[in-house]
């Protein structure tokens, strides 16, 4: 990353991983004291959370399968809040 980013320019990383999981990897890849970092969390919408919940609870990991399983669908609506 530091080889292709120009000085005084911006670099944006979007990740679904928690900062605790990703931050060390990023910091280790950059020369020390050569950057300013800002971390912002953008919450997912209800629909995004619902889709993630459906996928994770579906046995075959498909939304179609989850939509056909009433228990999975109902629990995903509750968890999708």
Instruction: Tell me the average pLDDT across 38-42.
Output: 82
Cα–Cα distance measured from residue 37 to residue 70, given in angstroms and rounded to the nearest whole number: 44
Q: Is the pLDDT of residue 81 over 80?
A: no
What does pTM read for this prediction? Answer: 0.50
- pLDDT, position 1: 63
Give pLDDT tens digits for 44-64. Answer: 888 888 888 888 887 776 788
Question: Residue 43 class from Cβ within 10 Å (0-12 exposed, 13-18 middle, 19+ buried)?
Answer: exposed
Distances in Å between the Cα of 40 and the Cα atoms of 15, 37, 55 are: 11, 10, 25
């Amino acid at each position: 990353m530091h080889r292709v980013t120009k000085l005084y320019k911006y670099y944006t990383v979007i990740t679904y991983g928690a900062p605790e999981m990703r931050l060390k990897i990023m910091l280790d890849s950059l020369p020390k004291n050569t950057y300013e970092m800002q971390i912002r969390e953008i919450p997912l919408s209800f629909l995004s959370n619902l889709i993630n919940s459906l996928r994770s609870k579906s046995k075959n990991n498909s939304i179609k399968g989850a939509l056909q399983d009433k228990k999975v669908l109902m629990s995903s609506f509750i968890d999708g809040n």
